[in-house]
Amino acid sequence: MRPALLLCLLLTMMTPTTIARNADNPHAPTAAATPVPPPPAWLPALEARYDAELRAAGLDDRVFTAEHWWTVTTPLLERTRGFHVEEIGRSVENRPLRHVRWGEGRTQVLLWSQMHGDESTASMVLSDLFRFLGEHPDDPQVKALRANTTLHFLPILNPDGAARFQRRNVQGIDINRDARMLATPEARTLKALYDKVKPMYGFNLHDQRVGYRAGDSDRGTAIALLSPPYNHAADVNDVRTRAIEVAGVIRTALEPYLAGHIARWDETFDPRAFGDLTTQWGASTVLIEAGGIEGDVQKQRLRKLYFLGLVAALDSIATGSHQGVSPALYRELPENGDVWPDLLVRGGTLAMPGRPPMKADLLVNFRNPLMETDGAIADVGDLGGKKARRTINARDLFIVPIPGHAGERTLIEANDDGDNDEPPSPPPITPGASAHFVLSRDPQGRDVVWTLDGSVDPAAPAPPSR
Ligand SMILES: [Zn+2]
């Protein structure tokens, strides 16, 4: 995989004559990437209308509860606009799980969002989609969808997780590893809806870690796609062929906006995961993952692009236009590669009270990487050629722990001590500790240049990266 990618890269950098000469050589590997066709002609116009006519109001902050989501979305789901809403289950904490149905066509499509409670982008997108379907009945794409498909939605499958903005449900179960055992009420509700609808197409809608790079590149993955395999051999049958075509349609739609930032997941079969099993059960399933776009801290730009990709995918199902789309458009996407950590403080001097100063690089990861909140020390020391999403040059600066956080240590470290009679250790700047330090021109931390007190203050600019 990696050598092949490198080769592609090298060949791309060669002159056209070189490529032509290689093309004459039957032993030369095929290197030229399949050209990505232009997006559907109607897509730029839809993008231009998005902010005024399609973006659902009240979802500007990506952290919201299911209750809030239903409050702002329910007015979009009127029966006169063709929507049918029915409660079909309850979460562990008794929050309603609802089935939204729209359309009059034969092709059944099932879409579910936020089975991981902190992955809210697709839930925002579904609100936008409801606005599109309900308020714009004369749009050609809406007409085709209404006539040819019936869309079934299960939004915010993990409302208890959403209430805490955490991945797992309140029992600590990853619902996307519960498709086989069906131990959670949330997974059982999705499976029951699947069995009732028997969809031809499925959309498994997620967010992924912001740090993922597209292949071996330095570019962050904004959107990742997967046609989940249905067996360990990752065979391709008719069901997967359709999913791979639809994934190609999504790439085509988004390439003008996100070229180089679209990746795909590897095809390791997981018999506990919903996408893998819905594929096995017969639904052409596409996994869509929203990664991140730097500076887009609430994922609002990514929300728009995700919406455009999803509409293009649904349109290709309604019109049948995905048939014959080259599988190379999906196959040639780089895989999700390394996960870059969030913040590297390079070349500083660690000034711990009562200890000699020490040269050290520092690595910090955030619970919310785009907003840079809830930071924790990930590594300290000579971090060599380590790369991060953001690098701060701390040469000539001291890293000084902020007083008041001396007792704040991770559970594991606290339990390691064995003997609790020891005096409290210096404020920790060690892996696992939460990140509370200043960058200062003096070792006492009086002449402060920048502060990281758990979260980054966006109003206080950091020293430049280089
Ligand atoms: Zn997820």
Question: Are 387 and 344 contacting, i.e. CB atoms less than 8 angstroms apart?
Answer: yes
Q: Cα of 115 to ligand 1 centre, how many Å? A: 7
Q: Cα of 147 to ligand 1 centre, how many Å? A: 31
- Burial level of 236, CB count in 10 A (0-12/13-18/19+)? middle
Q: Which of 194, 193, 172 is nearest to 183 (CA)?
A: 172
Q: Cα of 156 to ligand 1 centre, how many Å? A: 12
Q: Cα of 36 to ligand 1 centre, how many Å? A: 27
Q: Cα of 121 to ligand 1 centre, how many Å? A: 11
Question: Are 146 and 99 contacting, i.e. CB atoms less than 8 angstroms apart?
Answer: no
- The confidence score (pLDDT) of residue 403 equals 78
| Structural domains for the chain | 43-339 (3.40.630.10), 343-456 (2.30.40.10)
Q: How confident is the model at residue 462 (pLDDT cuts 50, 70, 90)?
A: confident
- Mean pLDDT within 247-252: 98
Q: Cα of 174 to ligand 1 centre, how many Å? A: 9
Question: Are 397 and 443 contacting, i.e. CB atoms less than 8 angstroms apart?
Answer: no
**Separation of alpha carbons 59 and 303, rounded Å:** 10
Q: Cα of 128 to ligand 1 centre, how many Å? A: 20
DSSP 54: I
- Mean pLDDT within 48-57: 98
Q: Cα of 154 to ligand 1 centre, how many Å? A: 15
Q: Cα of 204 to ligand 1 centre, how many Å? A: 9
- Neighbour tally for 165: CB within 10 Å: 16
User: Considering only 83-87, 290-294, 307-311, 403-407, which range has the smallest mean pLDDT?
Assistant: 403-407
Q: Which of 206, 177, 198 is nearest to 284 (CA)?
A: 198
Q: Which of 330, 160, 322, 341 is nearest to 246 (CA)?
A: 322
- The confidence score (pLDDT) of residue 466 equals 54
- The confidence score (pLDDT) of residue 406 equals 47
Q: Measured on CA atoms in the order 127, 130, 136, 141, is the torsion positive or negative?
A: positive
- The confidence score (pLDDT) of residue 178 equals 98
- Mean pLDDT within 19-36: 56
For helices 300-319 and 238-258, the axis angle rounded to 10 degrees is 140
- Mean pLDDT within 358-384: 96
Q: Measured on CA atoms in the order 291, 318, 272, 175, is the torsion positive or negative?
A: positive
Q: How confident is the model at residue 193 (pLDDT cuts 50, 70, 90)?
A: very high
Q: Which of 207, 204, 216 is nearest to 336 (CA)?
A: 216
The conformational region for residue 324 under phi > 0 = left, psi -120 to 50 = alpha, else beta, is left
Whether the per-residue pLDDT at 18 is higher than 50: the answer is no
- The confidence score (pLDDT) of residue 109 equals 99
- The confidence score (pLDDT) of residue 427 equals 60
**Separation of alpha carbons 379 and 390, rounded Å:** 15
Q: What is the average pLDDT value for the chain, to the nearest integer?
A: 90
Tokens of 259: 């070229």
| Candidate ranges 5-14, 94-103, 347-356, 398-407; pick with highest mean pLDDT | 94-103
Structure confidence by residue, pLDDT tens digits, 446-460? 999 999 999 998 888
User: Considering only 60-69, 116-125, 242-251, 411-420, which range has the smallest mean pLDDT?
Assistant: 411-420
Q: Cα of 176 to ligand 1 centre, how many Å? A: 7
Q: Which of 369, 344, 229 is nearest to 293 (CA)?
A: 369
Residue that is written with structure tokens 């990930």 in the block = 378
- The confidence score (pLDDT) of residue 331 equals 98
- The confidence score (pLDDT) of residue 369 equals 94
- The confidence score (pLDDT) of residue 391 equals 96
Q: Cα of 84 to ligand 1 centre, how many Å? A: 27
Q: How many helices (H) and strands (E) does the chain have?
A: 13, 18
Q: Cα of 355 to ligand 1 centre, how many Å? A: 43
Q: Cα of 96 to ligand 1 centre, how many Å? A: 20
Q: Helix or strand or coil: residue 197?
A: helix
- Mean pLDDT within 96-124: 98
Residue that is written with structure tokens 């092709």 in the block = 107
Whether the per-residue pLDDT at 8 is higher than 60: the answer is no
Q: Cα of 314 to ligand 1 centre, how many Å? A: 21
Residue that is written with structure tokens 């902190």 in the block = 118
Q: How confident is the model at residue 356 (pLDDT cuts 50, 70, 90)?
A: very high
**Separation of alpha carbons 286 and 279, rounded Å:** 9
- The confidence score (pLDDT) of residue 428 equals 83
Q: Cα of 407 to ligand 1 centre, how many Å? A: 34
